[in-house]
Amino acid sequence: MEIFELIREDLVQVERELAGQASHAFGPVAEISSYLLEGGGKRLRPAVLLLSAGAAGYRGPWAIQMGAAMELVHTATLMHDDVIDGADTRRGRPSANRRWGNHMSVLAGDWIYMQSFQLALKERNFQILDVLVEVTQRMVEGELLQWTNLGRIDMTEQQALDLAYLKTACLFSGCARMGAVLAQADSASEESLADFGRYSGLAFQLVDDLLDFTASTQQIGKPVLSDLREGKVTLPLIYALASGDAADRELVANVVADRGFDRVSPAQIVALVNDSGALDQARQLAVDYAAKAKASLEPVPDSDYRRALLSIPDFILERES
């Protein structure tokens, strides 16, 4: 079964809601947010929310509203990330900060964050707000943690996984939990769905980390090895350095210090990661998290929605192939 077939019309409505939010925004924000939303994306996070709600027994307008709200949170986060990282491209197009500058991008991101909360407030449901507040706080914590760890080549596996949860997996988890909240599911079902989102999000981030070393610029919509160029030492590189020697660490330290490939070529870094077996190690961890995501759904009653959720971890893994 095609993952999005069950919720195709719901996703169309999410898209309409996002377009409506952008078109009714304050002038400059409308232009920026419309540009970003036109940039596409698979809307995987709203899909997780919609399918989780369906699996827990709810289909209705609030799944559409909150799917849009969660996508707005994701969009605002990307805008702020690009400003902090000094990124020039996003999904193969100039980033918002490249086109409109940092000040406009930060303020537009703030506005989009608040718009997501305005959508949530319409329901007057404290559980919905609790999920949204926690997700937003965790993602900000992730950005702060990443900033304090920039340039560190002594990052541990656990530190990288903690960061992956805060930066990426907590939003997936929040989307799945939101679906359960909308369905007024019991606490056990809510936790099962939240765990599904968490493990799916960790797999997603690991695949992203792998793509930074293995994909083309066209495939990922940004320059390859951009993470390292920005001073971010991700899990494949952590694994490579763990089995490497002083010369390997010096190569990576030089790239981080230069914030570019002035003294070291990208091919040297790719060879270091390839030859160490680090890519296979990170890839296996992504597979393990995908399996944990599926196992988390065991308590959830069988339905078309549950079966669609079960296909999401495989869809995430296939992004690298």
279: left (phi over 0), alpha (psi -120 to 50) or beta: alpha
Residue pair 24/33 in contact by the 8 Å Cβ criterion: no
**74-87: per-residue pLDDT in tens?**
988 888 888 887 77
CA distance from start to end of the chain: 20
Residue 93 φ then ψ, to 5°:
-125, 165
The residues facing 90 across adjacent strands are 93
Q: Write down the pLDDT at residue 1.
A: 46
Residue 33 φ then ψ, to 5°:
-65, -35
To 5 degrees, how large is the angle CA 271–CA 205–CA 103?
100
- What is the set of domains in the chain, with CATH numbers? 8-318 (1.10.600.10)
Q: Write down the pLDDT at residue 54.
A: 97
Cβ within 8 Å of residue 59, ≥6 positions away: 10, 53
Q: In whole angstroms, what is the distance from residue 203 CA to residue 40 CA? A: 21
Strands (E), 45-199: 89-90, 93-94
Residue 244 φ then ψ, to 5°:
-90, -175
Using DSSP's 3-state secondary structure scheme, residue 93 falls into strand
Q: Write down the pLDDT at residue 13.
A: 95
Give the H or E element holding residue 12.
Answer: helix 8-23
Using DSSP's 3-state secondary structure scheme, residue 148 falls into helix
Total-model pTM: 0.92
Q: Write down the pLDDT at residue 221.
A: 55
**247-277: per-residue pLDDT in tens?**
999 999 999 999 999 999 999 999 999 999 9
Q: Write down the pLDDT at residue 246.
A: 94
**Residue 261 has which token pair?**
């490939």
Those residues of the chain that have pLDDT short of 50 are 1
Q: In whole angstroms, what is the distance from residue 99 CA to residue 30 CA? A: 14
Q: In whole angstroms, what is the distance from residue 96 CA to residue 319 CA? A: 25
